Chain A
């Protein structure tokens, strides 16, 4: 079974700082990759997804992620964060079935 590992449990940074969240998965076949965001008290919302093609994927709100197949990684980035980016971020992978395997999540706190 596949698994998803998110390296950081909690990240604290200041506004305008750059953000990078690590995500690694363990599955050797074809995967579809996702990043979801959960703002405080809200449900999960899709930030971006990778299915095929250009490994650099751009999502909403200025986020992007890069799929590096050789490293089994799908790291999330944002060049300049805002206070409103304070949230929990989840990496997820879909393999052969229709289930998504989620990472444990990374809490991002942006200080004004």
Chain B
């Protein structure tokens, strides 16, 4: 299994630009999670999906952030417009429902907004 795949691995953009981060979960997993990691705030859960449906988006910082999961094998996290304070590493993770709740993390996308 290739594990959770994220792209791009690094993104540098200017303030005000739209940023789209992508994630492919492990095949067969029906939960998908988006996290943000910064030195100041640590690891924060932004949103999670079950069977492609958003379950809890209470961690999404503001309306500039949106996430979609159009099918079981793909999810996006979009920031529009981006701001320097959005600079962070964004992780996607997936887990299965078979009683084993551990989450498998992708390699992350390091976002820098200048």
Contacts and interface: CB of A to CB of B under 8 A. Distances in A.
A97 B58 CA distance: 14
Interface stretch (B17-25, B61-69, B71-79, B95-103): B95-103
Contacts, number: 41
Contact of B107 (A32, A43, A94, A98): A43
Interface of A: 32, 34, 36, 42-46, 49, 51, 90, 94, 97-100, 102, 104-105
28 contacts: A32-B101, A34-B102, A36-B105, A42-B107, A43-B91, A43-B105, A43-B107, A43-B108, A44-B105, A45-B105, A46-B102, A46-B104, A49-B102, A90-B43, A97-B55, A97-B56, A98-B48, A98-B50, A98-B55, A98-B101, A99-B33, A99-B56, A100-B45, A100-B101, A100-B103, A102-B42, A102-B43, A105-B43
A7 B7 CA distance: 34
Contacts of B48: 98-99
A104 B42 contact: yes
Interface residues of B, number: 21
Interface of B: 31, 33, 42-43, 45, 48, 50, 55-56, 91, 93, 95, 99, 101-108
Contacts of A51: 99
Main secondary structure on chain A at its contact with chain B?
A: strand
A34 B93 CA distance: 15
